[in-house]
Structure 1
Amino acid sequence: MIGAIDNAKRALRADLRERRQQRSQPALEEAEAGVKAQLDALVAATGARSVSCFLSTPTEPGTHAFVADAVARGIRVLLPITRADGLLDWAVATSDADIAEGLFGLPEPVAEVLSPLALNDVDLLLIPAAAVDRSGMRLGWGRGFFDKTLGSMEKCPPVYAVIFDSELLDEVPRDLHDQAVTGVVTPTQTLRLA
């Protein structure tokens, strides 16, 4: 049965990855503007003063404009730094931080590294996903970084996955270790799911 779940995840991820690669640059820029507006509204609605976010890759819903603006407004933003052991370290985003290619080719900040425990002080988590279903189950990209992170937190604040509108699905394949999210942020809407 586990093999069937893994195969279903792999096939869905491949389909989603291909769809993302087909988006035009103007569509990606429009999506980033929409995501920024939705994230700004979510931060305001929750009163969050400290958030975690990720630096989007070129095919993901863009988060760079949100991060830069949040930092400029005095919001503390923690950015993930991947580790070989499958955990995430964190760095505080700054307006002048360099960005480099991290483990697995993901954009990561070049800054002072904070331990995984730094995440315990945030009010809101904004995480990447390949897709999310209507029950809040998140399908990641297969390395388990965020599932491990969420599963290890004693007191987890609200968690929102940032996806494109078409990536909110009726159902995604799930394993025992998979972690659900509170809601999703897309370029056009913010939905609380759990």
Structure 2
Amino acid sequence: MGDEIGDEKRALRAELRERRRVRTATERTDAEVAITANLIGLVEAQSVPVRSLAAYLSLPDEPPTRPFVRWAHDRGIRVLLPVSRADGLLDWAPYEGGDELEDALGMPAPTTDILSPMAINDVDLIVVPAAAVDRTGMRMGWGLGYFDKTIGSMSRCPPVYAVLFDDEYVDEVPRERHDEPVNGVVTPSAVITI
């Protein structure tokens, strides 16, 4: 059964990667504007003021998060960004708008001082990448489990929202025991709380 689910996930991830790869420049620009506005709206709608959040720096094919990260930083919100470790955990580093480097997985990370995996425990909101999320909130990542481990290990987890393109919010995703759900999704067309 586990191999069957793994095969389903691999096939779906390949399809989603290809869809992302072939999006036009106009689609990406439109998505950037809409996703940024929706992420700002999400922050402003929280019942507890967001003083600190965890986010990530998007790659070129991903739904764009960089304008939102800059917006949050410019508003005085402390932004922590993930730094992948070889052992499957995430360290965190504060975003200060400066240079970037590549972490152990080749993902963009800030050049500021690295904090421990525990640094995320103090944030008011978590914004995560995803390949897809289903209507129940089950998130399918890209297969390494970094965010599942992080979210699953938190004793007091704040709201977690995945950033997606509209067609990546689907009826159902294959799920395994270690997969962690999210509280909602942010797409170009909506903020959906699950």
CA distance in 1: counterparts of 2:86 and 2:117, whole angstroms? 13
- State the match for 2:45 in structure 1: 45
Structure 1 residue 33: deviation in Å?
Answer: 1.0
- State the match for 2:23 in structure 1: 23
CA distance in 2: counterparts of 1:20 and 1:101, whole angstroms? 21
CA distance in 1: counterparts of 2:122 and 2:70, whole angstroms? 20
CA distance in 2: counterparts of 1:24 and 1:67, whole angstroms? 23
CA distance in 1: counterparts of 2:106 and 2:18, whole angstroms? 18
Contact 2:125-2:160 within 8 A present in 1 as well: yes
- State the match for 1:170 in structure 2: 171
How do 1:95-106 residues align onto structure 2 when only pairs under 5 Å count?
A: 95=97, 97-106=98-107
Over aligned residues, Cα RMSD in angstroms?
0.7
CA distance in 2: counterparts of 1:106 and 1:25, whole angstroms? 22
Q: Give the paired residue count.
A: 192
How do 1:1-194 residues align onto structure 2 when only pairs under 5 Å count?
A: 1-46=1-46, 47-95=49-97, 97-193=98-194
Task: Report the residue type matching 1:188 in the other structure.
Answer: S
Structure 2's unaligned 5+ residue stretches are none
Task: Report the residue type matching 1:58 in the other structure.
Answer: P
Structure 1 residue 86: deviation in Å?
Answer: 0.4
CA distance in 1: counterparts of 2:139 and 2:148, whole angstroms? 9
Contact 2:89-2:149 within 8 A present in 1 as well: yes
CA distance in 2: counterparts of 1:27 and 1:105, whole angstroms? 25
Structure 1's unaligned 5+ residue stretches are none
Task: Report the residue type matching 2:91 in the other structure.
Answer: D
CA distance in 2: counterparts of 1:107 and 1:18, whole angstroms? 21
Task: Report the residue type matching 2:56 in the other structure.
Answer: F
> Any runs of at least 4 consecutive aligned residues in structure 1 with deviations exceeding 3 A, and if so which?
none
Under a length normalisation based on structure 2, what TM-score does the superposition of the two structures give?
0.97
Structure 1 residue 104: deviation in Å?
Answer: 2.1
Q: Sequence identity, in percent? A: 56
CA distance in 2: counterparts of 1:98 and 1:138, whole angstroms? 30
Contact 2:85-2:103 within 8 A present in 1 as well: no
Give secondary structure in 2 for the equivalent of 1:105. Answer: coil
